[in-house]
Structure formats: structure tokens, C-alpha cells
Amino acid sequence: MSSTEEPRVALVTGATSGIGLAVTKALAARGLRVFICARNRENVVSTVKELRAQGFDVDGQAGDVRSVAAVREVVEAAVNRFGTISVLVNNAGRSGGGITAKITDELWHDVIDTNLNSVFTVTREVLTTGGLDGADGGRIINIASTGGKQGVPLGAPYSAAKSGVIGFTKALGKELAKTGVTVNAVCPGYVETPMAVRIRQAYASTWDTTDENVLAQFNDKIPLGRYCTPEEVAGMVDYLVADTAASVTAQAINVCGGLGNY
């Protein structure tokens, strides 16, 4: 980027912890202006303050990605603050599952709304209001999951939603290919985040065992023998934003320690 060229603008959802926070730091370190959102206003404010103290050009606004109106407000705020959005990272998500026969309507719909419907809603708003449609070097990166490819026992809502994200990614990637905007999914396996802790606690309760035993079982399933880090997932996002990834589109790329192989 030349000294006279304006920095690119990124929007990252669910950006106050875990993968979203790591992605925000990686993109800001690359020189992008990053606008973040999450549901909790206090977390957004404190995260923006912390990142600015590290010298990053970051701002943000609270918003619930399940709400069409809230998504529009966030995108409008991002454009007003930094300008046209050229990079979107749909990261906001939640865990959710259990014995399928006992899953409530409320849980099912909330997981789908949070993990799948929001990806469509935010993407549509960024393509239109955000100005990403046809943006030079435009990038859409959706955080999916290996669970969306292989299925997760006791995680039917989560697996269904992430599978939908992968299908949406591939369809939109082909649709936008002629414009130069790339669309890809990053599919983490087990990643050590606050959500991962909650997931292990839920399995421990269902299986009547300890969190430590669940962790040991999960580590045993991973060929590398350990969880990935948020920074490792962010590294793949960082690559997909680079000019050298301009020919990568409509892909679902694993970052999973060998857990998934397709």
C-alpha cells in the first residue's frame, strides 16, 4: 500500500474474545482499519480501548447479529467511521446442542439465527450499505467449523448451521467471482477459547464426567494432540485477506490439527 492509499476497512463480528479478537488484532496489524461488533456494549468499549492502546486503528459498536435492524446500524456506523468496507469476517457464533430428541425449538432457532442466518444478514448489508460488492480486493471470510463438514455428536444445531455457512460460502463465492470479491470459509476444529470451555462443561454434564476427562478425550481425537489457538485460525484469515490469496475463492479451509481431512 502506498503512502497515499487509504487503508482498507474490515468489519469483524463477535470480535471481543476468542477467534474474533485474534482476527481483529491480525487485520489491524496488517494495517487495516477494523470496526468490531458484539452484543455486549461494555465488552466492545473495553476491547476498542485496549486495541487502541496497542496502536491499532479500531472502533466498534454493540449490535446483535440476529437482528436485521441492529446489523444495519452497525454497518452504517462502520461506513460513517472508516468508509467503504472491503473485508468482512463473519465470526459471531454460539455453541448449542444436546440430545437431539430433547432440543427445544428455542435453542434450535437461536443457534441457526446466530450461526447461519446472521452470516446472510451481515453479508447482504455489507455488500449493499457497506459498499463491498465489487470492491477492489474485496474479501468475505466466514468462520465455519469442521463440524459443518463431519457433524458433531450432540451438536446437531451447531453442525447444521455451520454446514449451511459452508454451502452459502461456496454459492456466494461462485456468484461474486467475476467481480474479484473472494468468499471463503475457515473451518476450525477444536480451538481453545471461552466457548470451548463451555462446550467441555456441557459434555462433562451430559456424560457425567469431568471437564478434564472431556479435554483428554478431545485431544486424543486430534492428530496433533492439542487444540488449535485463536491466533492460528486468525493466521488463515490473515492469509485470505492478502493479495496472494486473490485466486482462492469458494473454499472451506480447515485449521484443525488434522482433525478433518476434507
Question: Tens digit of pLDDT for each residue in 130-186?
Answer: 999 977 889 999 999 999 999 999 999 999 999 999 999 999 999 999 999 999 999
Would you say residue 161 lies in a domain?
Answer: yes
Range(s) of the domain holding residue 250:
9-189+228-255
Sequence-ordered alpha helix ranges (H) in the chain: 18-29, 41-53, 68-82, 105-112, 118-128, 147-150, 156-176, 194-207, 211-221, 230-241
pTM score > 0.85 for this model?
A: yes
Shared domain for 146 and 218, answered yes or no, is no
What pLDDT is attached to residue 218?
87
Q: Is residue 68 a contact partner of residue 47, using CB atoms and an 8 Å limit? A: no
Q: Which 8-state DSSP code applies to residue 211? A: H
Q: What residues are labeled active site?
A: 158
SS3 259: coil
Would you say residue 3 lies in a domain?
Answer: no
Record the cell numbers describing residue 133, joined without a space: 460488492
What pLDDT is attached to residue 138?
97
Record the cell numbers describing residue 249, joined without a space: 475463492
Task: Cell 446489523: give the residue.
Answer: 71
The CA distance from 179 to 133, in Å, is: 8
Shared domain for 203 and 179, answered yes or no, is no
45 to each of 15, 27, 40, 252, how far by Cα in Å? 11, 19, 9, 32
The CA distance from 41 to 61, in Å, is: 7
Shared domain for 176 and 245, answered yes or no, is yes
Does residue 5 have a pLDDT over 80? no
Q: Which CATH number covers residue 25?
A: 3.40.50.720
The CA distance from 198 to 203, in Å, is: 9
The CA distance from 124 to 141, in Å, is: 13
Would you say residue 90 lies in a domain?
Answer: yes
Shared domain for 123 and 248, answered yes or no, is yes
Shared domain for 103 and 212, answered yes or no, is no
Would you say residue 122 lies in a domain?
Answer: yes
Shared domain for 159 and 37, answered yes or no, is yes
Angle at 181 between CA 175 and CA 185, to 5 degrees: 80
What pLDDT is attached to residue 2?
42
Shared domain for 88 and 211, answered yes or no, is no
Record the cell numbers describing residue 11, joined without a space: 468489519
Lowest mean pLDDT among 16-30, 43-57, 209-223, 229-243: 209-223
Would you say residue 2 lies in a domain?
Answer: no
Shared domain for 138 and 213, answered yes or no, is no
214 conformational bin, left if phi > 0, alpha if psi -120 to 50, beta if neither: alpha
The CA distance from 57 to 259, in Å, is: 35
CA atoms within 13 A on the CB side of 14: 21
Smallest Cα–Cα separation from 218: which of 203, 206, 229, 233?
A: 203
Shared domain for 27 and 141, answered yes or no, is yes
Shared domain for 238 and 182, answered yes or no, is yes
Would you say residue 4 lies in a domain?
Answer: no
Q: Is residue 106 a contact partner of residue 32, using CB atoms and an 8 Å limit? A: no
Mean pLDDT for the chain? 95
The CA distance from 196 to 215, in Å, is: 10
Mean predicted confidence (pLDDT) in 184-191: 95
The CA distance from 180 to 182, in Å, is: 6
Question: Tens digit of pLDDT for each residue in 25-57?
Answer: 999 999 999 999 999 999 999 999 999 999 999
Read off the pLDDT band of 20 (50, 70, 90).
Answer: very high
Mean predicted confidence (pLDDT) in 63-89: 98
Q: How many domains does the chain have?
A: 2
Shared domain for 148 and 64, answered yes or no, is yes
Would you say residue 261 lies in a domain?
Answer: no
Smallest Cα–Cα separation from 70: which of 121, 108, 123?
A: 121
Read off the pLDDT band of 1 (50, 70, 90).
Answer: very low
Would you say residue 130 lies in a domain?
Answer: yes
Shared domain for 122 and 211, answered yes or no, is no
Sheet holding 251-255: strands in order across? 58-62, 33-38, 9-13, 87-90, 139-143, 182-188, 251-255
